[in-house]
Structure 1
Amino acid sequence: MSSGWRATYAHLRAAVAGLTLLLTGLALGRADVVVIAAPLVLVWLAAAGGRPGQAPAVTATEGSLAVHEGEEFGWRATLSGLPRGATVAAQHPAQRWLDVEPRDGRLVAADGGTATVETALRAMRWGRRRLGDPVVAAYDAWGAWRWGPVACPGLQVTVLPATEPFDASAPAPHPRGLVGMERASRPGEGTEFAKVRPFELGDRLRRIHWPTSARSGRLHVTATYADEDAHVAVLVDAVNDVGDSGGLDGGASSMDLTVRAAAVLAEHFLRRGDRVGIRVFGAWGASFVPSASGRLQLRRILDTLSLIEPGTARGEDALAARQGLGAGTLALLLSPLIDPAATQQVAILTSAGIDVVVVDTLPPELAEGTGPGASANEVLAWRLRMLQRRLERDRMTALGIPVVTWAGPQSIDRVLRDLTRRASVPRMARR
């Protein structure tokens, strides 16, 4: 890190060119050459005498922060103790998943010996990363002396997955608990109408149904279903990341679709008052978040999703058994269905009496195209895997396991309605 003022190339060129022309004109007796050299020599002498003697102090944005995909945030640097008429230049390095505005840096004139430079940043993909070290430099009024460039500490940014509004009205099957927005199978204090029945001791007066009471001559009240919460487990298959990611505004890989879909579903059920947990299979550094409710739980889930490192998982640790998920749990398995272990996990969960919804997160262009391979052997292997994958999907559908291709927040609305109707039908479960 430089702490002193150094001569710029413009200052050195003025000195060399001016002195050379001046000596040449004097030696040859050429007055025109001396006239040409005079301004350069005068500027050099004036700038040399005005060299700043104090290094400015830099205060820059430091630390860590959390933002969502596509959200803008800023980086700021303030330089104090600058000479009169000084100019400050700053540049923040761009990265693959970071948009910087302006990309070529910013130039700001000092006001009263202080200058503040601001740069707008925009995160384009989820994850936790450290931004590159931005640099600042200061120039005096003549542009003859430069301080810096000085590297400032980069920000530690946690980019949370982007979520979309999810207006699905379908309830989750098997609600249980004491609070929530799901309709229970038993009557109680709730919001959904059940029937009109005769008044009983302990009924609230506001529940009296006056039209029926006036017609029958006996008090009747409206009965409702109890409101309960459901237990939702979001299972994320992080074994493979298929496809190329272009960030929030570009194409999406399978891991992009998986992480963003998990964030959308978790936020939807938590807003309804349900208990949501998440289990990440095959990721290093992120594995399990116990079921809970509330806004703090959503932040825990988003932090866990942002820790996933795409494509760095080990296949043998990808999918485990049910691991504490009991009967009546709604399990949402988000997977591109590339690793055969995903279908084995579905079979284990279904045999334990757990409602499983498989959300296919493979990009449609990869499922229908030639895949990421370039050579003829890679293309052939990909097509064979796609045929096997299609057979696995058809087999799960034939067994009554819903398989939905993720196409936005409304993808699983109809499936949840079907599961709710099916929840009232008795079935056997292996213990």
Structure 2
Amino acid sequence: MTEPLLEPPAEERVRRRPDPRLPAYLLAGFGTLVLAVAIGNSGLAALGAPFVVLATWGLVRREPGRPRARIRIDATQVVEGDEITGEVTLDWDGVAEVDAVLTAWRGVVPIDPHPVPGWSPAARRGPVRLPLRLSAESWGHHELGHLWVRMRAPSGLIEQEVKVAVAPTVKVLPSPLKLDRLLTPREPRAVAGRHLSRSRGPGTDFADLRPYQPGDRLRDISWATSARLGEPWVTVHHPERTGTVVVLLDTFFGDDHETAEALARAARAAWALASAHLSAQDRVGLLARGRTAAWVPPRGGRRARWMIVEQLLAVGGAAEDPWRRRRGRRVVVPADALVVGVTALRSRAFAHELLHHRRNGHATAALVIDTSDLLPPDEDATSAVARRLWHARREVERVRLEKGGVATVLVPPGGAMAGAVTALRRRVGAGIGRAVGAMR
């Protein structure tokens, strides 16, 4: 069944404005009449009379009825670079000259019409169907804009504008990056399944409560139970069945295109890591820090995949819309999790966050996304010095992380993730081996 066309909301005010010809007609008509009276030339008055008649006729023409519209797109979920096709259906009462334009679109680029999605149909009676083609430019949740319609009666000199419909929202997924090898979690398990293990041991899945025994970890004490019973009790967990990886995404970005593109590259790398580890049955969580925040606790399976990609799309939408802010809350990362930061190192706050997790005992690593190609070209000596200072600042932050025990690897602008992850895998594995040897 065909969906009905939408009428403008009752509270949507119709904007009326004069046609550009109206001031010209009035000036020519009345100006000529005044001049004819001043010089006493009746022939000049006859010359200006038609302009007055045209202006009067254009003002008394009846306005057409309010338009109705529907915007349809063929797919609401696409990947970066895909083409979005759709159709705009317009209808109105009576005879009218109609112009339509789609405004306030984000994250997409018009293909047809180009460069602005606007139409001026030749038909004077509705309905009309107008094709629409867009290209998905950046990832995120994006509203495809608002449809504005401008109408006037034939030979009329008063135009009316009204917002008729809101375009659908489209989900643009980050373009996939394939990884040859994975980062090894601190304590990988070879066996994974849906059911909890019958055995008990270190983990995050609740199993039982029991009285405190010498040798129990202080972090396992259940303070609420201990206060209620008057003696220390500890929480017992089921052992983990898979490795746990927390991807820490840097969202300290600005409002310009370069910083939004830097975030997009980091998000693609984060999605590549998360999806690859989920395919290996690891438990994966996402923690975004910066101007926009998100937290998906570590879990596995298809549900975790969709939750992570939904949060990434929300972060991408915030990158496109500078007015959107999302507040994060304090989170507790599992003790056995491997924390992998994905960052362009444009903020000292994110480096501090990585060091915080390292000081808390987590195996921590960082994929540093190289965004030097996004810098403006060197036009003079000052630009060259600024570029060197930018590289020096990033190197200082990277050395700071290395001294704090956070292994770092630089991802080149081309997005060669496989080699970077392989190098980071070796460094993280070596660090974990040294830590285990020191504990023994």
Normalised by the length of structure 1, the TM-score is 0.61
Q: Give the match for residue 325 of structure 1.
A: 334
Q: Give the match for residue 178 of structure 1.
A: 192
Q: Give the match for residue 392 of structure 1.
A: 400
Partner letter of residue 274 of structure 2? A
Partner letter of residue 163 of structure 1? S
Shift of 1:289: 0.5
Is the contact made by 1:237 and 1:318 (CA closer than 8 Å) also made in structure 2?
A: no
Report the secondary structure of 1:232's partner residue.
Answer: strand
Distance between the aligned counterparts of 2:392 and 2:427, measured in 1? Answer: 32
Q: Give the match for residue 289 of structure 1.
A: 296
1:171-192 CA-to-partner distances (Å, cap 9, x unmatched) read 7452444259xxxxxxxxxxxx
Distance between the aligned counterparts of 1:275 and 1:360, measured in 2? Answer: 23
1:137-156 alignment runs, 5 A limit: 137-142=150-155, 144-152=156-164, 154-155=166-167
1:66-145 alignment runs, 5 A limit: 68-73=79-84, 77-84=88-95, 86-93=96-103, 97-100=107-110, 101-104=113-116, 105-110=118-123, 112-117=125-130, 119-127=132-140, 133-142=146-155, 144-145=156-157
Partner letter of residue 93 of structure 1? T
Partner letter of residue 113 of structure 1? G
Distance 1:120 1:247, change over 3 A: farther
1:204-223 alignment runs, 5 A limit: none
Is the contact made by 1:94 and 1:103 (CA closer than 8 Å) also made in structure 2?
A: no
Is the contact made by 1:289 and 1:301 (CA closer than 8 Å) also made in structure 2?
A: yes
Distance 1:15 1:161, change over 3 A: same
Shift of 1:341: 1.1
Is the contact made by 2:172 and 2:313 (CA closer than 8 Å) also made in structure 1?
A: yes
1:142-291 alignment runs, 5 A limit: 142=155, 144-152=156-164, 154-155=166-167, 157=169, 160=172, 162-169=174-181, 172=184, 174-178=188-192, 230-238=243-251, 240-241=252-253, 244-246=256-258, 252-253=261-262, 255-284=263-292, 286-291=293-298
1:261-284 CA-to-partner distances (Å, cap 9, x unmatched) read 212222333344443211123454
Q: Give the match for residue 305 of structure 2.
A: 298
Distance between the aligned counterparts of 2:125 and 2:294, measured in 1? Answer: 53
Distance between the aligned counterparts of 2:82 and 2:295, measured in 1? Answer: 27
Is the contact made by 2:68 and 2:92 (CA closer than 8 Å) also made in structure 1?
A: no
Distance between the aligned counterparts of 1:127 and 1:10, measured in 2? Answer: 44
1:257-311 CA-to-partner distances (Å, cap 9, x unmatched) read 3222212222333344443211123454x33102233444333212222334569
Is the contact made by 2:340 and 2:365 (CA closer than 8 Å) also made in structure 1?
A: yes
Is the contact made by 2:182 and 2:276 (CA closer than 8 Å) also made in structure 1?
A: no
Report the secondary structure of 1:92's partner residue.
Answer: strand
Larger Rg computed on CA atoms = 1
Unaligned 5+ runs, structure 2: 1-11, 195-240
Distance 1:102 1:375, change over 3 A: closer
Normalised by the length of structure 2, the TM-score is 0.60
Is the deviation greater in 358-367 or in 229-238? 358-367
Shift of 1:13: 4.3
Is the contact made by 1:82 and 1:110 (CA closer than 8 Å) also made in structure 2?
A: no
Counterpart pick for 1:405 among 407, 411, 418: 411
Q: Give the match for residue 366 of structure 2.
A: 358
Is the contact made by 2:81 and 2:136 (CA closer than 8 Å) also made in structure 1?
A: yes
Distance between the aligned counterparts of 2:182 and 2:29, measured in 1? Answer: 82
Distance 1:287 1:400, change over 3 A: closer
1:48-59 alignment runs, 5 A limit: 51-52=61-62, 54-59=64-69
Distance between the aligned counterparts of 1:118 and 1:41, measured in 2? Answer: 40
Report the number of matched residues. Answer: 360
Shift of 1:149: 1.2
Is the contact made by 1:56 and 1:79 (CA closer than 8 Å) also made in structure 2?
A: no
Distance 1:52 1:2, change over 3 A: farther
Shift of 1:156: 7.5
Distance 1:111 1:9, change over 3 A: closer
Distance between the aligned counterparts of 1:382 and 1:421, measured in 2? Answer: 31
Distance 1:19 1:148, change over 3 A: same
Shift of 1:89: 0.7
Unaligned 5+ runs, structure 1: 181-227
Distance 1:45 1:295, change over 3 A: same
Distance between the aligned counterparts of 1:428 and 1:137, measured in 2? Answer: 75
Q: Give the match for residue 184 of structure 1.
A: none
Shift of 1:360: 0.8
Is the contact made by 2:179 and 2:272 (CA closer than 8 Å) also made in structure 1?
A: no
Report the secondary structure of 2:269's partner residue.
Answer: helix
Is the contact made by 2:80 and 2:137 (CA closer than 8 Å) also made in structure 1?
A: yes
1:201-228 CA-to-partner distances (Å, cap 9, x unmatched) read xxxxxxxxxxxxxxxxxxxxxxxxxxx9
Distance between the aligned counterparts of 1:261 and 1:41, measured in 2? Answer: 67
Distance between the aligned counterparts of 2:179 and 2:259, measured in 1? Answer: 25
Cα root mean square deviation, aligned? 5.3
Shift of 1:107: 0.9
